[in-house]
Amino acid sequence: MRVAIRPAHWALVLSLSAAAAPRAANAADAAAGHAIFDHTCLNCHALEVGVNKVGPSLWHVVGRPSASVEGYAYSDAMKNLHGVWTPEALNIYLANPRGDVHGAKMFFKGLPDPRDRQSVIAYLQSLQ
């Protein structure tokens, strides 16, 4: 069965389609980010509250103040950062952690591909 859409309703259809597209893209990015996280980050970071490994737990990291996970021994460089882990801040940090925060303990060299960083950030945002 074909549904006819009246010309007056095209604007509504297009706006609904446009609104749904970013959500679908974010879901795909989060799925890719999950895979990248599992392969790249999971050895050093947990996703459970209160579980710290070599690095602090990353549960609810997006929007969290830096160096604020209870029970984790942060470097002086990270303690002195006094920032908030926004998606933009995470993007810069994940590109080159030691270049962004000189003296950070994180040995990871970073994610050079901006799409990989955005996917990981989308995944971390999905864990809020």
State how far the Cα of 118 lies from the Cα of 124, in Å rounded to an integer: 10
Are the C-beta atoms of residues 36 and 119 closer than 8 Å to each other? Answer: yes
State how far the Cα of 66 lies from the Cα of 76, in Å rounded to an integer: 12
pLDDT digits (tens, 9 = 90+) for 75-121: 999 999 999 999 999 999 999 999 999 999 898 999 999 999 999 99
Find the range with the poorest average confidence among 10-19, 22-31, 67-76, 109-118. Answer: 10-19
Are the C-beta atoms of residues 79 and 67 closer than 8 Å to each other? Answer: yes
Q: Which residue has the higher pLDDT, 71 or 22?
A: 71
As a whole number of Å, the end-to-end CA separation of the chain is 41
Domain positions in the chain: 26-126
| Token output for 57 | 């737990």
Are the C-beta atoms of residues 63 and 84 closer than 8 Å to each other? Answer: yes
Q: Which CATH class is domain 26-126?
A: mainly alpha
